[in-house]
Amino acid sequence: MRKGVPGVPSNGYKIIAVDDEMGIVDSLSIFLKRSGYHFTGVTDPMEAIERVKNEHFDMMILDFIMTPIHGDEVVEEIRKFNQDLYILLLTGHKDLAPPLDTIRRLDIQGYCEKSDKFDQLLLLIESGIKSIGQMNEIKRINNELSDTYDKLEHAYLESIEVLRYTVEAKDPYTRGHSDRVSEYSVLIGEKLNLSEEELKILRIGGLFHDIGKIGIPDSILLKESKLTDDEYSQIKNHPTIGSHILQNATIFKDILPIVKHHHEKYDGNGYPSRLKGEEIPLFARISAIADTFDAMTSKRTYRDALSLDIVKAEIERCSGTQFDPALAKIFLSILDTEYDKIKEIQEKYN
């Protein structure tokens, strides 16, 4: 492994970069060492597979077009023995990237085009490192608190609550958002006669649905002007980042579908997986309505909260496209007949 830059403090994270062009590896070496990372550069993709098999790395930066095998084939081999490695794919051009289905199947966390400047890559790396850091913290807690399940559950909930409050404390306009989404989701679940255990999943899933925003740079998360296409793409990574943060905690396995899929749309035009109709998990479909309702009824820097009539009209308009039509009908009924419960929730968490 190549040594760090003298005088630059190490942040402790180990990154392996794989590209069959030595010039790219050397450029990444200088760039990442200056940023405090332990860096290993490899030009042979077969050697990279062996290095990952025998050494610990936190992140891999991987070229797609290589010889003798392409980047997706490298990941295919690595995923046979390592499911946790955070992988970023580099492409000469976005049109040369592998299909989205392949990226999802291999759990590749992100990709970007090669460039003489590394600004976009640095944003992806920083987001990934935040996610990795939280994963490591959860693993640490898991190892230390193994005496009883109750103590483990309590510790997990407390630690993730801290992360949740960290996200919401950044922006006063979203404070209380996750609490309200949680409560609205439960109201819908009760109308579906869900069990107490299922309502608990909805409640916790609502609380942590936006946890992945901890991995989004503040410069994007708190930006008041319109986001660029690249910045919006970064925001759209938060469901995947959140799922990645929580996936190693057994007690959160039931809420992962909510965290990962609450931005899917009923017509298949959502993200990150473009699931359609009942392909979208039920609890994620419920949370999607609750999440959007709270966004529309909350004040933002660029607009006031929308009136109830406008919100109801919007939910009705998006029924069957953005929302499950059956669930939209149930929520509209709640707004018509039990709006006092909605007001209680809003007053409690505003």
> Alpha-carbon distance 1 to 44, whole Å?
15
Give residue for tokens 């006669």.
193
For the chain, give the number of residues: 350
Annotated catalytic residue: which of 80, 114, 130, 213?
213
Q: Do 177 and 210 contact (CB within 8 A), yes or no? A: yes
DSSP 202-218: HHHHHHHTTGGGGGS-H
Give residue for tokens 């916790």.
204
Q: Do 106 and 75 contact (CB within 8 A), yes or no? A: yes
**330 to 152, 215, 280: CA distances (angstroms):** 36, 34, 18
265 classed as catalytic: no
End-to-end CA distance of the chain: 52
DSSP 283-311: HHHHHHHHHHHHHHTS-BTTBPPPPHHHH
* Angle in degrees, 0-180, between the axes of helices 119-144 and 149-169, rounded to the nearest 10: 150
β-pair partners for 60: 16, 87
Active site residues: 213
